[in-house]
Every structure is written in structure tokens, then in C-alpha cells.
Amino acid sequence: MEKTLKIALVGAGMFGGDVHLRAYADLQRFGIGGQLARVGLDKWTRDLAPVKFDLVAVATRSANSAKRAQANFKEWTGHEPRAFHGDAPWDDILREIPDLDILAVATPDHLHTQPILAALARGVHVVTEKPMCLNIREADEIIEAARAKGLIVSVDMHKRYDPDHLRVRDDIQNRIGAPLYGTAYLEEPLEVATGTFKWVESSDPFSYVGPHWTDLIYSYYRSKPVSLTAVGQKKRLIRDGIMAYDAVQVRVDFANGLSMNFHNNWITPPEFEGPVNQGHEIVGADGKVESDQQYRGFRWWNAGDKSRTSNNHFTRDVTRPDGSSAYVGYGVDSLTVGLAAISRVKFHGETRESMALLYPTAEESRITCAIVDAAARVRDLNFQYLQEGKGATVSARFGEDGIFIVDPNRASEGADAVFQRIYDQPV
Ligand SMILES: NC(=O)c1ccc[n+]([C@@H]2O[C@H](COP(=O)([O-])OP(=O)(O)OC[C@H]3O[C@@H](n4cnc5c(N)ncnc54)[C@H](O)[C@@H]3O)[C@@H](O)[C@H]2O)c1
């Protein structure tokens, strides 16, 4: 019996149209076997080698971009997926392709929940871009729907699969001892905010790229947040009439005592020597780890061009003997783990539960959703109070009794106003 997994991709912009589409192009032609040892799953190479991956549809907002993605895929593979477009093209896909196995979601940050829930309702597994969603209640809905149907929701948290980070998780964190404090930063180019994304006003730099780091820290220590505070600034993008935060800084305190500062912006000038600036460091009771993810000691310059750095670990082209390129890197690895888990569930009798250690799950992503959700509220209140000359005194507290926004500016209104409960389930 032929084993095939049918995939549909919604969202084929900067990320979906590049990383997802290229990864699915390699899967379409060669299957998943060649990727498995990279993520420690080589023992399944023989089992999964016969599985065929078929990109049956690609969907975007406009007809033109959908056709572009369709044409690119055909050029790379000789196979033409169906093209869909519109405000909710996932509904058309799910209706017209009832035997779909996987919906891959790479729509803008605020448009993940709808397609994820629609797919789960139809019994379709999901591979989604980060953040899974921007709100902890939506995270709960997704988890409930996935559990009820035994479906996988795998979240593309690729920082977990950076070889340097795997080393921290498996070895170095034990050497540096109990974590005390640290910083994680990801600074995006101005171009994404002023040109690439039409949705910057519906997101912010922390919601957009902070989840990479909050998830990584959670994957190292499995310790939940207990409190946070957040501030943001609006000075650069307003010059271009864009009413969005330039930068957001969030400090999260975790139950294990670690205090992490997350610094994000999307206003890095084009003169910066790499695509993004990123890294993290953690000080422990017995040592420290530093990881510069952008400048890894690899830099060049040449006549007619300035100095450049490059992170070749994320994705890279490996030239095949026939001159074409294989596409590998930790950016692909985080898709591989979810697809391997789905393959095991569909063809090898595994379950959602038995595969949970294999990939970044919806339950784990819920922690990041809780942080993103609370940070957005705290950030907005602190922004407003800072403008009024009242300082940035708002914070959030997480616990068994839910999530509270703590706003001392409302002391005259009583305790319920100072401690506003925004979520009443244990985090
Ligand atoms: N894992 C990573 O490193 C990484 C990097 C960049 C972006 N992302 C994430 O990927 C997602 C997409 O980001 P991007 O950079 O590709 O953004 P983008 O704006 O370049 O692309 C968005 C895509 O979604 C489509 N779209 C918008 N509204 C839609 C709708 N209603 N229905 C169907 N399609 C719709 C657009 O047509 C476009 O194809 C975001 O959630 C982002 O956070 C992840």
C-alpha cells in the first residue's frame, strides 16, 4: 500500500514561500529519510523512507501570490499544487480536499488560530509557524481540539534545533549550574517592518520573534513563568506613518529563579552586516554560556561590497552532484520533527501522546502564548503610563490561580483593579 501524506500550505510570504515551500519541495522529491539523523531520528529512516509527501495545495491572500508559489513549486519539483486564495482559503481547501493530512500554517501572527482550529475540526494535523497564537485562551482551544481528535499540532520552534542550543540543552546547562539571569535578543531589519509585512500594526517585535527565545528557554529548563514586566518604544516607525512598536523589552522571571531579559526590535538599519542580529547568554551559579547566533566567526568582505556575516546553520544549500541543491539546516529540522511525528501516527500506530517528546507541542507553546499575551497588555499599559510621566510600574503574575495584570496606578479603585485577573486557569 502506498503511504502518502497530503500537505496544504496556507501563507507563502517571506517565510512560507521560502523555507516551508523549499522544504516541502525536497520532501516531494526525496521523502524525509535524508533529514532524520539531523534530529536524532535515524532509527526510523527505513520505516519512513517509503512515505510520500505530496503538496496538494498552496493558499495566500491574493490570487497572484498563490499562483507565484504554485509556479515556484512546479519549477522546483515538476509537480503543481492547486492554488487557493482569499480571506479564509483554508476553508475551501478543507472542503475540497477532504483527505488532506496536514495543514501547514504560515499566515501572519494574528491569523494562525483560525486555520489551525478549522484543520483540527476536520481531523487534519497541523504544522504551524510560531507563535502558535497570541492569546492563551486560543492556545487552550487549540489544545482541547487537538486532544479530542488525537491530532498533532507541531509548532515551528527552530531555535531548539540549532546545534549550539542542543549542546546547551543536553550538556552545558548542567555545567553552568542553577540558572541566575540572562539575555536573549533578536533584532530584525527595518525592511520587514516598513516593506515586507503589511501586518506590523497587528503585532510587535516581541510577539513576532520573542517566542523563539521564550520557547528555547522553556525547552532548556521546563520551568514556567511566575512574573513579567514589559516596555516598548515608538520612535522610528511613526516617521513612516506606521503606528507600531519599534522595539519591545520583556523581563520574565521563571519558577526556577531564572530572570531573563528578552530584547527585540524590527528597526535595524540596512547597514548592519547580517540578515538579523541575534544571540543569548545565561549566567548560572557555576558558569556562563554565551551564544552569538548571527556572528559565529564567519565574516567576509570584498571589493564593491561591505563586510557581511551569515548564519549558515539556519538553512543552507548543499550542492548535489547534478548541480541542484539539497536544503538543510535547523530551520528545516523543526519541520522535520513534526512531520516525522505525524508519519508515525498515521502509518505506525503511534499516538499524539506517545509522540509528544518528539516535537514542539501545542502544550509547550501554550507557555509562550501566555507570556506573549500578558506582555502585550503590560507593554501597552506601561507605554501609556510612561507618556503620562507615571513610570513603567505595571507587571504580570502567573500561577496556579491564573494570570493577573498588576497595576499600582489603580490603587484608589481597590484590590480588584490593581490585580486584574485576565485568566483563571492554572498556567
Ligand atoms: N520560524 C521563523 O523563523 C519565522 C521567520 C519569519 C516569519 N515567521 C512566521 O511566519 C508567519 C508568516 O510570516 P512571513 O514572514 O512569511 O509574513 P508575510 O507577510 O511575508 O507572508 C504572509 C503570507 O500569509 C498570506 N496571508 C495573509 N493573510 C491571509 C489569509 N487571510 N489567508 C491566507 N493567506 C494569508 C499572505 O498572502 C502571505 O503569503 C508569521 O507567523 C511569522 O511570525 C517565522
Per-residue pLDDT of the chain (427 residues; tens, 9 = 90+): 799 999 999 999 999 999 999 999 999 999 999 999 999 999 999 999 999 999 999 999 999 999 999 999 999 999 999 999 999 999 999 999 999 999 999 999 999 999 999 999 999 999 999 999 999 999 999 999 999 999 999 999 999 999 999 999 999 999 999 999 999 999 999 999 999 888 899 899 999 999 999 999 999 999 999 999 999 999 999 999 999 999 999 999 999 999 999 999 999 999 999 999 999 999 999 999 999 999 999 999 999 999 999 999 999 999 999 999 999 999 999 999 999 999 999 999 999 999 999 999 999 999 999 999 999 999 999 999 999 999 999 999 999 999 999 999 999 999 999 999 999 999 9
What confidence score (pLDDT) does residue 164 get? Answer: 97
Our answer on whether the CB atom of 211 is closer than 6 Å to any ligand 1 atom is no
Please identify which residue in the block is written with the cell numbers 561591505: 306
Ligand 1 center to 4 CA (angstroms):
26
pTM of the full structure: 0.96
- Between CA 122 and CA 100 the distance in angstroms is 9
Closest C-alpha residue for ligand 1 atom 9: 129
Does residue 288 sit in helix, strand or coil?
strand
Sign of CA dihedral 141, 143, 148, 154: positive
Our answer on whether the CB atom of 12 is closer than 6 Å to any ligand 1 atom is yes
What confidence score (pLDDT) does residue 32 get? Answer: 98
Q: What is the strand order of the sheet 102-105 is part of?
A: 82-85, 52-60, 4-10, 102-105, 125-128, 153-155
Mutate to test the pocket of ligand 1, among 68, 94, 129 (most ligand atoms within 8 A of CB): 129
Mutate to test the pocket of ligand 1, among 9, 10, 15, 200 (most ligand atoms within 8 A of CB): 15
Our answer on whether the CB atom of 202 is closer than 6 Å to any ligand 1 atom is no
Our answer on whether the CB atom of 213 is closer than 6 Å to any ligand 1 atom is no
What is the position in ligand 1's atom list of the atom closest to the CA of 107?
Answer: 24
Our answer on whether the CB atom of 16 is closer than 6 Å to any ligand 1 atom is yes
Closest C-alpha residue for ligand 1 atom 19: 197
Q: Which residues, 6+ apart, have CB-to-CB distance to 400 below 8 Å?
A: 426, 427
User: Alpha carbon 264 to chain centroid distance?
Assistant: 14
The secondary element (H helix, E strand) that includes residue 102 is strand 102-105
Mutate to test the pocket of ligand 1, among 22, 60, 194, 215 (most ligand atoms within 8 A of CB): 60
Closest C-alpha residue for ligand 1 atom 5: 15
Closest C-alpha residue for ligand 1 atom 41: 109
Q: Which residues, 6+ apart, have CB-to-CB distance to 366 below 8 Å?
A: 132, 136, 139, 140, 143
Closest C-alpha residue for ligand 1 atom 18: 13
Helix 89-96, helix 113-121: angle, nearest 10: 20
Mutate to test the pocket of ligand 1, among 14, 20, 162 (most ligand atoms within 8 A of CB): 14
Our answer on whether the CB atom of 423 is closer than 6 Å to any ligand 1 atom is no
Our answer on whether the CB atom of 60 is closer than 6 Å to any ligand 1 atom is yes
What is the position in ligand 1's atom list of the atom closest to the CA of 198?
Answer: 19
Q: What grid cell was written down for 161?
A: 534545533
What confidence score (pLDDT) does residue 74 get? Answer: 98
